[in-house]
C-alpha cells in the first residue's frame, strides 16, 4: 500500500486505477497496509512508551476525579439548552442570510451518503475518440483535421539508450518488427503494484501542456490476456489524474493506438482540464507483473493545428 509516507491525491487515483483494473489486487493491498501499520504502530509505541503511559494514566485519573465529584445536573442542563438554542438561532440566521443574499440554497448532502462500492467505481471503456489499429493501418488524426500535424514529442528508442523522461520501464530489443531494433518494456512502479507500467515524466514544469488538439500515439504489443491498455496523465494544476482505456485490437503482434488528450477523464471531482494545463506525467499501463509482458514503441504527442 505504500502508506508509510503521505500519499498525494494523484497517487491515490493511481492506486484506485490499479484496483479498478485488477480487483484481485485488493487483498494484497489490504494485507500490505496492515503490515505497514503494524510496523509503524510498533515503532511508534517503542518511541513514545513513557508519554503514552503517562497520558493514559492522566486520562484515567481525570475520569476517576469526575466520577468522584457530586453531579450537579441543573447547571449542565441549562448550559446545554442554552447552547442548543444558540446553535439553532445561528443556523437559521445563516440560512436566511444565504437566501437573502441571493446565493444558492445550502447543498443537501443526504443524497450522497451511499457508501461507495467497487461496482460504483467508474468503468472506462473504449471511447469513440480512442483507437487501436493493426500495424499496417496507420491511425488517422483523431481530431479529423487534414492539416499537417506537429510532433511535440517522439520516442523511437532506436539508439538503445534509456531516455531521461522514461521514469518507469526499460529499453529492450522486444518482439521483432521489420526495420525496428529497440522498444520500451513495462516495468514496476511503486504506485501500481501488479500492472506493467511505462511512465514518461517531466520536470517540475511538467512533461507538456494540455490542449484539445493534442493526441497521444504509440505502437503497442500486448499478450493474449491483456484486455485493456490504460493511459493516465497527471494534471499539475488540478493535482489530479485523468484516465482513459483502449481495448487492444490485436494480441501478440505490433499494432497502433491513438487517443485525444481530451478523452482523458478524472475521478471525482470531475473538473475539466483547461488548455495550457501542465501535465506532469503520462503512464501507460497494461498486462500484469509476472504475466503478460507489455511493449511500446514510437510514443508520440501529435498536435493538429486548428
Partner 1 sequence: MDAPENMSRQDRDLLDALHSGSQAGFERLVQIMHSSVRAYLTSFIGDVGVADDLAQETFLAAYRDRASFGGRSTISTWLLGIARNRALGYLRSKLRQEAKGAAAWDLAQTEKMVNALTDEASFGANHERGLAALHNCIDKLAPHSGRLVAEHYFRQRPLVELAREAGRKESTVRVELLRVRTWLRRCVETTLSEAVQI
Which parts of this chain interact with partner 1 (CB under 8 A)? 2-5, 9, 12-13, 15-16, 19, 26, 29-49, 52-53, 55-57, 59-61, 63, 109, 112-118, 121, 188-190, 193, 267-268
* Residue nearer to partner 1 on the CB measure, 36 or 303: 36
Question: In whole angstroms, what is the distance from residue 11 CA to residue 2 CA?
Answer: 10
* Residue nearer to partner 1 on the CB measure, 100 or 109: 109
* Residue nearer to partner 1 on the CB measure, 122 or 134: 122
- Tell me the C-alpha to C-alpha distance, in Å, between residue 178 and each of 71, 136, 254, 295, 298: 89, 12, 10, 16, 14
Supply the minimum distance, in Å, between the C-beta of residue 11 and partner 1: 9
| Residue 29 DSSP SS3 | helix
Supply the minimum distance, in Å, between the C-beta of residue 181 and partner 1: 28
Q: Is the peptide bond before 269 cis (omega within 30 degrees of 0)?
A: yes
Supply the minimum distance, in Å, between the C-beta of residue 241 and partner 1: 10
Question: In whole angstroms, what is the distance from residue 80 CA to residue 272 CA?
Answer: 46
* Residue nearer to partner 1 on the CB measure, 193 or 296: 193
* Residue nearer to partner 1 on the CB measure, 25 or 301: 25
Supply the minimum distance, in Å, between the C-beta of residue 213 and partner 1: 30
Q: Are 300 and 217 a contacting pair, CB within 8 Å?
A: yes
- What phi, psi does 154 have (nearest 5°)? -150, 125
Q: Are 166 and 297 a contacting pair, CB within 8 Å?
A: no
* Residue nearer to partner 1 on the CB measure, 32 or 303: 32
Supply the minimum distance, in Å, between the C-beta of residue 65 and partner 1: 12
Supply the minimum distance, in Å, between the C-beta of residue 194 and partner 1: 12
b (16+ CB within 10 A) / e for 217-242:
bbbbbbbeebebbbbbbbbbbbebbb
- Distance, C-alpha 55 to centroid of its chain: 39
Amino acid at each position: 500500500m505504500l502508506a508509510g509516507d503521505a500519499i498525494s491525491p494523484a497517487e491515490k487515483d493511481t492506486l484506485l486505477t490499479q484496483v479498478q483494473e485488477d480487483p484481485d489486487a485488493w487483498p494484497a493491498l489490504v494485507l500490505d497496509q496492515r503490515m505497514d501499520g503494524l510496523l509503524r504502530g510498533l515503532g511508534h509505541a517503542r518511541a513514545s512508551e513513557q508519554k503514552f503511559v503517562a497520558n493514559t494514566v492522566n486520562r484515567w485519573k481525570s475520569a476517576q476525579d469526575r466520577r468522584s465529584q457530586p453531579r450537579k445536573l441543573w447547571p449542565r442542563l441549562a448550559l446545554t439548552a442554552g447552547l442548543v438554542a444558540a446553535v439553532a438561532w445561528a443556523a437559521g440566521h445563516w440560512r436566511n442570510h444565504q437566501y437573502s443574499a441571493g446565493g444558492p440554497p445550502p447543498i443537501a448532502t443526504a443524497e450522497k451518503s451511499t457508501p461507495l462500492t467497487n461496482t460504483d467505481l467508474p468503468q472506462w471503456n473504449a471511447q469513440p475518440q480512442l483507437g487501436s489499429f493493426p500495424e499496417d493501418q496507420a491511425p488517422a488524426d483523431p481530431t479529423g483535421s487534414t492539416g499537417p500535424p506537429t510532433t511535440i514529442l517522439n520516442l523511437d528508442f532506436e539508439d538503445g539508450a534509456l531516455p531521461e523522461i522514461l521514469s518507469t520501464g526499460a529499453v529492450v530489443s522486444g518482439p521483432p518488427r521489420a526495420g525496428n531494433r529497440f522498444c520500451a518494456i513495462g516495468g514496476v512502479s511503486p504506485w501500481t503494484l501488479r500492472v506493467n507500467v511505462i511512465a514518461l515524466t517531466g520536470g517540475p514544469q511538467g512533461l507538456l501542456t494540455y490542449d484539445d488538439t493534442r493526441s497521444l500515439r504509440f505502437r503497442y504489443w500486448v499478450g493474449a490476456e491483456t484486455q485493456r491498455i490504460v493511459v493516465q496523465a497527471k494534471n499539475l494544476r488540478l493535482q489530479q489524474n485523468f484516465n482513459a482505456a483502449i481495448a487492444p485490437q490485436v494480441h501478440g503482434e505490433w499494432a497502433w493506438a491513438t487517443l485525444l488528450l481530451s478523452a482523458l477523464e478524472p475521478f471525482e471531482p470531475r473538473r475539466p482540464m483547461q488548455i495550457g494545463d501542465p501535465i506532469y506525467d503520462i503512464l501507460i499501463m497494461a498486462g500484469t507483473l509476472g504475466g503478460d509482458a507489455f511493449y511500446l514503441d514510437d510514443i508520440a504527442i501529435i498536435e493538429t493545428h486548428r
